[in-house]
Amino acid sequence: MPPQYLCPMTEPIIDPFQRAISYLRLSVTDRCDFRCVYCMAENMTFLPKKELLTLEELDRMCSTFIRLGVEKLRITGGEPLVRRDIMTFFHGMRRHLYSGALKELTLTTNGSQLERFAADLAAAGVRRVNVSLDTLDEEKFARVTRWGRLPQVLRGLDAAQAAGLKVKLNAVALKGFNEDEIFTLAEFCAARDMDLTWIEVMPMGDLGNEDRVGQYWSLNDLRAKLAETYRLTDLPENTGGPARYVRIEETGQKIGFITPLSHNFCESCNRVRMTCTGELYMCLGQEDRADLRPALRNHPGNDAPLEEAIRAAIGLKPEGHDFDYSRQRADGQVSRHMSHTGG
């Protein structure tokens, strides 16, 4: 491979709490073909397209992070696969997988476009995908996504598995909505050799008519309900994300729990999130951010200012977030929508 395409390592980035940053979650668009009630308002005002980083700029940004020690890159949105020509970016990132600098390239998707893109993603070096799916009930799915169609997503799951991709479902636990589906979803995933991760709803974005405290369902309660039927064994493994895992002994499958409210995971946080406009959020649950776009655009052909800006931003990474529902209000709430930062 020509030397100019390789990404020689420099000194890795370490935050003030001695956590090495090895995981970047990159939002490539704030647009989505769904309007999930915990993520977006129904009538969203999206960013002007000229404000988004170009695909070439996204490549340069990610390559710089990889040079600084990022080994896992997760592409998010919005819905990442609705961005025009996004597969050009995925195929560009493949060179870092070939060099060994990047250990994993993956994405989180709503599944709507997987039927179209699964084979191409596999060819680009993607080996697994996370698909957001909160219910297997077609009417409830239409209600929670507002614009989504469940059969389209199920076809996407089929296409992903046919392409050889490992699929994990992510389900947001919503009180009064999918409490009755924890066994249905577990059995669906077991039958299809998929893992499943449950996520507590987070207080992000002012969606007007959405009651976050009323939606909140502690995963401690969900796990206890699972344990009434299944034998659960805690697993020590860590996939680089915030989930804690158990194995269901009856099926052998893994179930993950992401618990930013009932049991936060900040002490081991190794990740940062970047928006499609080049804003770096050092913590999902804090408003502090660093705008990397000037360092990127004002110095074409010179990555040193961008590296310096990234290091300065990581130097401001907080110890943890402040999400808290214990006082029956969404303390620690941040104003931006989840779709702005990336799921």
- The token pair at 255 is 């179930």
Q: What is the pLDDT of residue 156?
A: 98
* Annotated binding residue 189: no
Question: What pLDDT digit, counting tens, does each position of 148-191 carry?
Answer: 999 999 999 999 999 999 999 999 999 899 999 999 999 999 99
Of 15-24, 254-263, 302-311, which range is least confident?
Answer: 254-263
* Burial (Cβ within 10 Å: 0-12, 13-18, ≥19) of residue 87: middle
Q: What is the pLDDT of residue 342?
A: 57
Domain that holds residue 35: 3-341
* Burial (Cβ within 10 Å: 0-12, 13-18, ≥19) of residue 103: middle
Q: What angle do CA 43, 47, 52 make, to 5 degrees?
A: 150
Q: What angle do CA 282, 262, 168 make, to 5 degrees?
A: 70
Task: Give the mean model confidence (pLDDT) for residues 271-286.
Answer: 88
Which residues have C-beta within 8 Å of that of residue 299, sequence separation ≥ 6? 305, 306
Please say if the pLDDT value at position 230 is more than 60: yes
* Annotated binding residue 325: no
For residues 36 and 144, the answer to whether their CB atoms sit within 8 Å is yes
| Helix/strand/coil for 195 | strand
* Annotated binding residue 127: no
* Annotated binding residue 216: no
Q: What is the pLDDT of residue 124?
A: 98
* Annotated binding residue 276: no
Higher per-residue confidence, 290 vs 328: 290
Q: How confident is the model at residue 78 (pLDDT cuts 50, 70, 90)?
A: very high
Question: What pLDDT digit, counting tens, does each position of 162-171 carry?
Answer: 999 999 999 9
* Annotated binding residue 283: yes
Task: Give the mean model confidence (pLDDT) for residues 101-117.
Answer: 97
Of 46-50, 177-181, 199-203, 230-234, which range is least confident?
Answer: 199-203
* Annotated binding residue 32: yes
Domain of 149, CATH number, reads: 3.20.20.70
* Annotated binding residue 272: yes
**C-alpha 207 chain-centroid distance:** 20
Task: Give the mean model confidence (pLDDT) for residues 284-289.
Answer: 71
Q: Between the CA atoms of 316, 295, 91 and 65, what dihedral angle is there, to the nearest 10 degrees?
A: -30
Separation CA 314–CA 335 (nearest Å): 22
Domain count, the chain: 1
Q: What is the mean pLDDT of the chain?
A: 86
* Annotated binding residue 202: yes
**C-alpha 223 chain-centroid distance:** 22
* Annotated binding residue 36: yes
* Annotated binding residue 74: yes
Question: What pLDDT digit, counting tens, does each position of 19-70 carry?
Answer: 899 999 999 999 999 998 888 888 888 899 889 999 999 999 999 999 999 9
Q: What is the pLDDT of residue 166?
A: 98
* Annotated binding residue 62: no
CA distances from 286 to 162, 243, 272, 289 (A): 39, 19, 12, 8
Q: What is the pLDDT of residue 132?
A: 95
* Annotated binding residue 103: no
